[in-house]
Chain A
């Protein structure tokens, strides 16, 4: 039977609505419709860095750079998979898929290049909390959450919200 608009039974419409809401992303669709926020690069307040280039950020994310100036060890805090912040930095900075990024870090540790893999944070609040508590920490959060006395680093000389800011 082919069901057409006006003749569709109310029960079928309700079932369709439930299925749509249950589909992956269905419940988040209203949020998706809003403009995506820039991703801010936030560091521990004592990190003596105000600006990072894309290449420098990439080297931090891939573990090729392990120290800030004055030999302060970098602690990379990164959101768990699926989080938008993680997707943006992986695609924009590392130009990698999630699988490639994971494989890169497994290889990095396996090669004995570093014993300190990225630390996973599960929420913006957790990222904000830890970046302020761990010396040398760096993380990536939605810029709209970065106004609480955090040290936001410029990327290629631009802050989130400015024209031509690259992380969004």
Chain B
């Protein structure tokens, strides 16, 4: 059963809708006691970095998430801001990130309009359990002004391109993150969430 962490940052309904469509059971984690019911976690989120961390703090989720993910090794998938929060810091804010992957979040350095909004093809750089079986060049829906910057290439699963290549999906053991929105990327998103629920 996938627990979708509700820390009141962004839209959770679409993730649950898509999981329902692919017949994967899920529920919203409303408080700390709900975490034990989940076998896997999804950390969604749309909004600003500091607000996201602040919400995790004020809901009292920081410690239990650390326990669940780092000690119990439950698979977690961060989506958009949710994935950025897993990095060490962001140029968008002052607060420290969860810091579970060796990366930071930086602002797009480009003359192109920011946010990058729309569908982009992604380039998968290594075989992995999350991004596979797409039967077509995978493309996803993106809306973001900031992106991950990795110190270790081996944690990067895929790159997106907006003026330049940037990491858009990562994995470090049970910790996964994607910059794009699988829940809004029809068949490609369904395949990704299916992979997360079955393979990890």
Mutual binders A and B = no
- Give the B-binding residues of A (Cβ under 8 A): none
- Give the A-binding residues of B (Cβ under 8 A): none
